[in-house]
Amino acid sequence: MPRADSASERIVYLTGGVGGSRFLSGLVRRVSPNQLCIVVNTADDRDFFGLHVSPDLDTVVYRLSGVVSGEGWGVQGDTFFCLEQISKLGEEAWFRLGDKDLAMHILRAKLLRQGLPLRSVTERLAKRFGIPWRILPMSDDPVETWIRTKEHGWVHFQEYLVKYLSVPSVLDVRYRGIRAARATQEVLEELERASLVIIGPSNPITSIGPILALRGVKPLLRALNKPVVAVSPLIGGRPVKGPLDKLFLSVGLEPGSLAVASRYRAFLRGIVIDQADRSDAEALAKNGLQVLVADTLMRTQEDADLLAGATLSFARGLSALPNCSSKTA
Ligand code: FO1
C-alpha cells in the first residue's frame, strides 16, 4: 500500500480497546514506524492470579503482530487449558485468559518484578513480537476504572464488562489512582512534539478518558497548535461493541457524536463521524469543529485502511485554527 506521509510528520495516536486497535491496523499501513507513537490506556488493567493483565496494550501488540483473535482481543487459535484447570480447582475464571495469552502476562509479571517500569516492559515485549512502532502505556502508575452499579455496587471495569456483560445499570465511573498517577515523560514529550494527534474510535469514557485525566495531558493538547482529530466510536448513536451508550447516559449525555465531541471539546479541531450520523454534522460544525463523514464500520482490513487513509487526509488538511466548515467523504 502506498504511504502518504511527509518526512517531518509526527503522529500521536491515543487508543484503547478493540475499535482503536482495528483503526490502528489501517493507520500503520499509511505512515512509517518512526512517524507514529501509540499511547495506550492502562486503566483497564487488572491483576488476575497475581499477573498484571493489560488488555489494551496486549490488544495493540497482538493486532500489530498479526496474531490477534477474531474477537479482537487475545491470541488467534488460543486454547484455555490452564484456565479450565484453574476453574476445576475452584477459582473464578470469568476472564478468558488463553494459554498463549498467559505467556504474555507471565513475562510481564516477571519483568515488573525485576523492577522495570511498565513502559520498559512494554517496549521489550513489543520488540519480541517484532513490532517496530513505539507503543507507550499512558502511565507507569496503577490506574483502574471502576463502575458504580445499581445492582453490585462498585466493580472493576473488567468485572462490569466481562463478568456482568455490561448489564447492570451504571451510576458512576471513577478512575482509581488517577490523582497520584503521572503520564510518563515519554508520553508528555511525544505530545509536545506531535504535528498531529488522532484519537481512535475508542470509548471516550473508559479508554481515552483515563489518558486525558492524567495530570498535564489536557493542557498539553489545548496548547498544541496542531490538529487534534477524533474518530467517533458510535454508529447511529450506538457503540459497535461495549457499553458506551450506557456510560454516556450515566454521565447525563445523550449517546451520539455530540457527546463524543463534548468529551474532547477543550482541544478538538476535527471529528470523523459515520454516514449514519451525518445529521449531526451541522451541530458539530456550529460548535467550531470540522467534520468528516465517512464509513466508520471496520469489518475488514480494507475498511480500516480506507478509514485511516481518509482520517489522515482530513487531519492533514486541517488548519491549526478552528473553523466551522463541514465536508463529506
Ligand atoms: N473481553 C471479553 O468480553 N471477555 C473476556 O473473557 C475477555 C478476556 C480477555 C483476556 C485478555 C485480554 O487482553 C482481553 C480480554 N478481553 C475480554 C477484552 C477486554 O476485556 C476488553 O476488550 C478491553 O478491556 C476493552 O478495552
Residue closest by Cα to atom 12 of ligand 1? 55
Q: What ligand 1 atom has the least distance to the C-alpha of 206?
A: 26
What is the residue with the minimal CA distance to atom 26 of ligand 1?
A: 17
- Take atom 22 of ligand 1 and give the residue whose Cα is closest: 17
144 lines ligand 1 (CB under 6 A): no
Distance CA 318, CA 220 (A): 19
- Span from the CA of 114 to the centroid of ligand 1 (angstroms): 26
Q: Find all residues with CB under 8 Å of 92, minimum gap 6, and list them.
A: none
Q: What is the DSSP string of 194-220?
A: -SEEEE-SS-TTTTSHHHHHSBTHHHH
How far apart (Å, rounded) are the C-alpha atoms in residues 291 and 232? 11
Radius of gyration of the chain (CA): 19
- The finding on whether 291 has its CB within 6 A of some atom of ligand 1 is no
Domains by residue range for the chain, with CATH: 1-43+138-143+178-329 (3.40.50.10680), 44-135 (1.10.8.240), 144-176 (no CATH)
Residue 222: how many CB atoms within 10 A of its CB? 10
- Which grid cell is 16? 484503547
Rounded to an integer, what distance in angstroms lies between the CA atom of residue 277 and that of residue 46? 35
Span from the CA of 321 to the centroid of ligand 1 (angstroms): 39
3-state secondary structure of 190: helix
3-class secondary structure for 66-102?
A: CCECCCCCCECCCCCHHHHHHHHCCCCCCCCCCHHHH
- pTM (2 d.p.): 0.95
Query: Does the CB atom of residue 188 touch ligand 1 within 6 A?
Result: no
Q: What does residue 307 show for φ and ψ, rounded to 5 degrees?
A: -65, -45
**Residue 238 phi, psi (nearest 5):** -120, 145
- For residue 74 and ligand 1, the question of a CB distance below 6 A is answered with yes
Residue whose CA is at the smallest distance from ligand 1 atom 14: 55
Is the C-beta atom of 137 inside 6 A of ligand 1?
Answer: no
Per-residue confidence in pLDDT tens, the chain, 329 aa: 444 446 689 999 999 999 999 999 999 999 999 999 999 999 999 999 999 999 999 999 999 999 999 999 999 999 999 999 999 999 999 999 999 999 999 999 999 999 999 999 999 999 999 999 999 999 999 999 999 999 999 999 999 999 999 999 999 999 999 999 999 999 999 999 999 999 999 999 999 999 999 999 999 999 998 999 999 999 999 999 889 999 999 889 999 999 999 999 999 999 999 999 999 999 999 999 999 999 999 999 999 999 999 999 999 999 654 443 334 34
Mutate to test the pocket of ligand 1, among 15, 40, 64, 95 (most ligand atoms within 8 A of CB): 95
Nearest in space to 137 (alpha carbons), one of 246, 45, 266, 65: 45
Q: Whose CA is nearest to atom 1 of ligand 1?
A: 162
78 by Cβ neighbours in 10 Å (0-12 / 13-18 / 19+) ranks as middle
